[in-house]
Amino acid sequence: MIGPVNNHRIRVAACQVSLGIGEVDRNLATARQAILAAADAGARIVVLPELTPSGYVFSDAAEARALAEPADGQTVTGWAQLAERHDLVIVGGFCELGGHGQVFNSAVVVDRDGVRAIYRKAHLWDAEADFFVPGDAEPPVTDTRHGRIAVMICYDVEFPEWVRLPALGGADLLAVPTNWPAEPVPAGERPMMVANVQVAAFANRMFIAAACRCGTERGVSWTGGSIIAGPDGYPLAGPAGADEPELVLADCDLALARSKASGPRNNAHADRRTDLYR
C-alpha cells in the first residue's frame, strides 16, 4: 500500500477497469467508482481508459454513432462535476459526436475549472477507421490545477514523433487513455505496449500514466498493463495484470519532468540533431 501523500508530489491514478460495449450507465458508474476510489486514496490526477462510457468493439459505424455524445454531454459533465467536487484532474476517453456530426475517438481533460481540453485521436487502429474521423490537432498541453498535462490515445503513443510534440511543449505528464487488445507475449516478457510507454517516458524525461482495460469484450481481450512510468522510464506503479481491475497509484514529483538532463552534459531534448532530422 502506498503511504500518505508527500506534499512535494502529486498522487496520480491510472484506473484499470472492466467495461462493456454499449453499457453506458454501468460503465459510467464503474468510472465514477474508480474516480472516487482514486480521490479517497489521495490522487489528484486520475486517468481513465479510452472510450470509457461506450466500450470499444463496435459492430459498425451506426453503433458507434449511437453511442457518441457531444463534449458537453453526460460523460464530460459528470467528470467535470467530480473534478470540481474533489479537486481532481480527470482525463478519460469517450466517443465524441462533433458539431458537424462527425464521430471522434476523443479524450477530455477536466479539472475544477471545468473542461480544459478535448483531444481527438489522430492515429486510428484497425476498424476504428470505419467508425471515427481521425483528429488533426496536436495533443494539447494543459496547465491544469495539478500540473502540465498532455493527452493522447492508445495507438497514438506508438509514434514517437507524436509523443515528442507535447513533450517539447512542456508536458510534465502525458495521460494515455488506452484499450490495448491483447497480443501474444513471449514468456517472461512485458507486453510491448507497456515497454513502449516506458521508453516514450524515458525518451522525453516525462511522466506517462496509461490506463487500460481488463476483461474481454465481443471476443477481444485486453492487455491490462496500466502503468505510471517515471522520467527515467521505469515503472513507478504497475504494470497491472490483464485480468483484474486495479487502481494503479504513484506519487509523482512532476517538477522532475521540467529538466531534460539525461546526464551531466546531456539533455534528451537539446541533444536532438534537428539540423539532421527530416
CA distances from 101 to 118, 125, 129, 233 (A): 16, 21, 16, 40
For a copy of itself, give the closer residue by CB, 104 or 202: 202
For a copy of itself, give the closer residue by CB, 56 or 79: 56
Kindly state the cell numbers that stand for 29. 458508474
For a copy of itself, give the closer residue by CB, 113 or 232: 232
Indicate if 50 belongs to the active site. yes
For a copy of itself, give the closer residue by CB, 202 or 207: 202
For a copy of itself, give the closer residue by CB, 85 or 234: 234
Quote the CA–CA distance of 66 and 180 in Å, as a whole number: 23
Q: Which residues bind a copy of itself (CB under 8 A)?
A: 122-123, 125-127, 129, 134, 136, 138, 155, 158-162, 164-165, 185-186, 189-190, 192, 195-196, 198-200, 202-203, 232-235, 262-266, 268, 271-273, 275-278
CB of 233 to a copy of itself, least distance (A): 5
Kindly state the cell numbers that stand for 215. 476483461
For a copy of itself, give the closer residue by CB, 36 or 192: 192
Quote the CA–CA distance of 154 and 23 in Å, as a whole number: 21
Indicate if 189 belongs to the active site. no
CB of 104 to a copy of itself, least distance (A): 15
CB of 124 to a copy of itself, least distance (A): 8
CB of 5 to a copy of itself, least distance (A): 22
Among residues 15, 69, 121, 246, the one annotated as catalytic is 121
Indicate if 154 belongs to the active site. yes
Among residues 154, 212, 214, 252, the one annotated as catalytic is 154
CB of 83 to a copy of itself, least distance (A): 29
Query: Are the C-beta atoms of 125 and 154 separated by less than 8 Å?
Result: yes
CB of 125 to a copy of itself, least distance (A): 6
Residues that are catalytic: 50, 121, 154
